[in-house]
Amino acid sequence: MIRQNTSIARIVIFVLVAVTIFVSTAFGFFSYWQERSIRLKELHAELTIVSGQLSSSLALPVWNFDQQQTEKILESAMQNRQVAGIIVKEPGPGKVVAGRTRDPQWRVIPTGSDIPPHGLLSVQTPITIHDRQIGTVHLYLTPRFMKELLHSYLIRFACGIAVLNTCMVLILFHLLRRAVINPLKAVVGYALKVGAGGAEKAAIGAAGFYGELDNLRRSIEDMTHALLEAQEQLVRKEKLAILGQLAGSVGHELRNPLGVMNNAVYFLKTVQPEADDTVKEYLEIIKKEIDTSLCIITDLLDFARTRKPRIEAVAVRHLVDEALQRCAVPENISLRIALPDTLPALRVDPLQIGQVLYNLITNAIQAMPDGGTIEILALKLPASSTMKISIIDSGDGIPPERVAKLFQPLYTTKARGIGLGLTLCRNLSEANGGTIEVASLVGRGTTFAVTLPAEEPEEP
Ligand SMILES: Nc1ncnc2c1ncn2[C@@H]1O[C@H](COP(=O)(O)OP(=O)(O)O)[C@@H](O)[C@H]1O
Ligand SMILES: [Mg+2]
């Protein structure tokens, strides 16, 4: 069960977005203050020039006490919408000669006091005539102008930051999704699939995984495969154990009545040597069916009685010969046996491996009802103390989709088969420290190869 916890991705995104917004906003404020101080300096410079011009145009009227002319000059200077107010004073702490300011309705009104108008910047310039100071002019600049100027700058800047933030968040989200969220989603999907029993040997897929997440993916895949393998083996062992018990008891119970029936047939044949042909034919059919049933029961009992192998050194040729004797190879099948004399002895349980060879040769014979060839080869594998025995037939072969099922208990395609022969072959080969493999081509034939421990060749 996957619980819906707070998503790590969401937390990471939230933190990244918060950090980005904080950094860009702080940067924005810093630039705003810088821009403001630059603008203020520029304005101050402009104001100094305007104030200088005003003081020189006021020099003569102030010198001549020409109040009318002074007022006129102030009036025209106030036409400049940036100017908040002008005050003309006598030198020193002197009294106000003339002044203009703006009222809350933005109208120009004369002022007789030296209360400075509400200006943002002020510049004080002396009024001189023949190098003698005859007064001072105080010029105040309205904050409105400055506000408007900075306001538009602020809007542009805020828009820029918003766009930058959005882009950064989108890029971060995209990167995070590719590098973290998508891989994690794939892992969760895989875990759910495995949990539901649908993944089998599926893989998460390497696409989109980098660095540590790729290592994580690999270890999850490996771990899952190992777990599935172990689970499969456990289920197989359990199935085989149950099957073994069942096969053992059923086989044992059936062997006695079949033995009685066999005796009865034998008795009837002996006491009725003159019976007519139909009776004789039917007795023969009964005898054949009893033999087939006994074969099936032998398979069942062999399967049920898998005991611990008793390992000893035994020649391959001996095991092959015995198996062939038991099989009774039909005449339409030709045998090719290649067992070099130089082969070392096998180190196996002769009865168990003899059983394996018998089952494989029987299957090969049954795969070629119309005749063919059986090749039995053995070779010592280089650089290991193992030997490979191959039983190759020229039968119809096995389609690839059926190959995987061959070693499953009870898998058979034969009307009279019980499908335990190959399962037994694999169990016995593995119990003797070996393996069994199959390769088949439809229309060409099948090869079963058993690899088993062999004696080390003697040092020359
Ligand atoms: N040499 C072979 N060629 C073709 N098919 C084979 C061969 N050996 C085994 N098989 C297939 O594998 C199945 C299982 O074999 P086995 O376990 O021996 O059980 P059974 O012989 O009772 O059917 C057979 O029914 C057959 O379809
Ligand atoms: Mg068989």
Identify the pLDDT of residue 31: 83
Rounded to the nearest angstrom, the distance between the alpha carbon of 81 and the centre of ligand 1 is 106
Q: Is the dihedral of CA 228, 233, 235, 236 positive or negative?
A: positive
Is the C-beta atom of 411 inside 6 A of ligand 1? yes
Contact by Cβ (8 Å): 202, 193:
yes
Rounded to whole angstroms, the Cα distance separating 379 from 382 reads 9
Is the C-beta atom of 391 inside 6 A of ligand 1? no
Identify the pLDDT of residue 443: 92
Identify the pLDDT of residue 199: 56
**To test the ligand 1 pocket, which listed residue (402, 406, 416) has its Cβ within 8 A of the most ligand atoms?**
406
Which domains does the chain carry?
A: 8-148 (3.30.450), 211-302 (1.10.287), 311-453 (3.30.565.10)
- 10-residue stretch averages of pLDDT, the chain, 460 residues long: 58 79 82 83 85 90 89 90 86 83 83 70 88 89 71 81 83 82 84 74 71 83 86 80 82 89 93 89 91 82 80 95 90 95 93 94 95 96 91 95 88 87 92 96 96 79
Among protein residues, the one whose CA lies closest to atom 13 of ligand 1: 412
Is the C-beta atom of 446 inside 6 A of ligand 1? yes
Is the C-beta atom of 417 inside 6 A of ligand 1? yes
Per DSSP, 83 falls in state: E
Give the helix, strand, coil percentages of the chain, each rounded to 5.
Answer: 55, 20, 25
Rounded to the nearest angstrom, the distance between the alpha carbon of 407 and the centre of ligand 2 is 11
Rounded to the nearest angstrom, the distance between the alpha carbon of 339 and the centre of ligand 1 is 25
Identify the pLDDT of residue 145: 65
Is the C-beta atom of 367 inside 6 A of ligand 1? yes
Identify the pLDDT of residue 457: 65
List the one residue out of 119, 99, 123 whose CA is nearest residue 111.
99
Is the C-beta atom of 364 inside 6 A of ligand 1? yes
